[in-house]
Amino acid sequence: MRISVVTFPGSNCDYDTYRVCKSRGNQTKLIWHKDSDLEKPDLVILPGGFSYGDYLRCGALARFSPIVQEVIAFAQKGGLLVGICNGFQILTECGLLPGTLMMNANLHFICQHQYIRVETEASPFTQGIGKGKVMDIPIAHKEGNYYIDPEGLKQLIANDQILFRYCDKQGNINIESNPNGSLDNIAGICNKQRNILGMMPHPERSATETVPTKDGRWIFAAIENALE
């Protein structure tokens, strides 16, 4: 599988993502934000970090980088696209995913282990994992509070676009298991065409031998299986 990981000024999870993808035997390349060629990938990943210092709004400036137009074109042709944390914020700023990411409810930066629950297997990002599976995937953000208007939420639910929700260790969805105030405990969504994933948790930080949790491997494996 050919993977392109985009680096913006301020990205800090690009090399983590690159190393995880490459260690799994994938042809992985880092693409600079001023480039105009994604180099024919099967998968594009917009990694976490603080693109452009998070000035204005998170992801608001990154959407104007030259490579983003190529990312949009790639996704509109059906290519698989993943936005992690800041990448998720960029995807909403581009209009590739609905809703927005606001300041955490407690107004603080949060960095911790977090349980999330798989809400559907009907996507290339979750197929084979098992609906209801609980995974320990770390979070690290200050603007991860997902919001969408009532009609938008209704559409997400009707179209089965909510892929992950924040939960406790037993898989319960409640206020106590919601770290940032996200509407309906939403941790990750896909588009209607199901080829674009945006998620705040960091699977690349839970997919190597040197970290306590390796649950992020489930997501990378699902994508690889979908592209076989």
pLDDT at 81: 98
pTM for the structure as a whole: 0.96
> Taking a C-beta distance cutoff of 8 angstroms, is the pair 45, 17 a contact?
yes
Whether 58 sits among the annotated catalytic residues: the reply is no
CATH code, domain with 90: 3.40.50.880
Single out the catalytic residue among 58, 85, 167, 190. Answer: 85
The rounded distance, in Å, linking the Cα atoms of 109 and 34 is 29
- CA 81 → CA 118, 136, 141, 211, distances in Å? 18, 22, 21, 25
Identify the DSSP state of 11: B
Whether 113 sits among the annotated catalytic residues: the reply is no
The rounded distance, in Å, linking the Cα atoms of 137 and 20 is 15
User: 219: buried, middle or exposed (CB in 10 Å: 19+, 13-18, 0-12)?
Assistant: buried
Number of separate domains in the chain: 1
pLDDT at 51: 86
pLDDT at 105: 97
pLDDT tens string 203-222? 999 999 989 999 999 999 99
pLDDT at 123: 98
Whether 176 sits among the annotated catalytic residues: the reply is no
pLDDT at 99: 98
pLDDT at 62: 81
pLDDT at 170: 98
The rounded distance, in Å, linking the Cα atoms of 4 and 31 is 6
pLDDT at 54: 74
List the pLDDT tens digit at each of the 228 positions of the chain.
Answer: 999 999 999 999 999 999 999 999 999 999 999 999 999 999 999 999 988 777 777 777 887 889 999 999 999 999 999 999 999 999 999 999 999 999 999 999 999 999 999 999 999 999 999 999 999 999 999 999 999 999 999 999 999 999 999 999 999 999 999 999 999 999 999 999 999 999 999 999 999 998 999 999 999 999 999 998
3-class DSSP state for residue 100?
strand
**Residue 59 domain boundaries:** 2-227
pLDDT at 139: 98
User: 154: buried, middle or exposed (CB in 10 Å: 19+, 13-18, 0-12)?
Assistant: exposed
- CA 36 → CA 33, 71, 87, distances in Å? 8, 9, 18
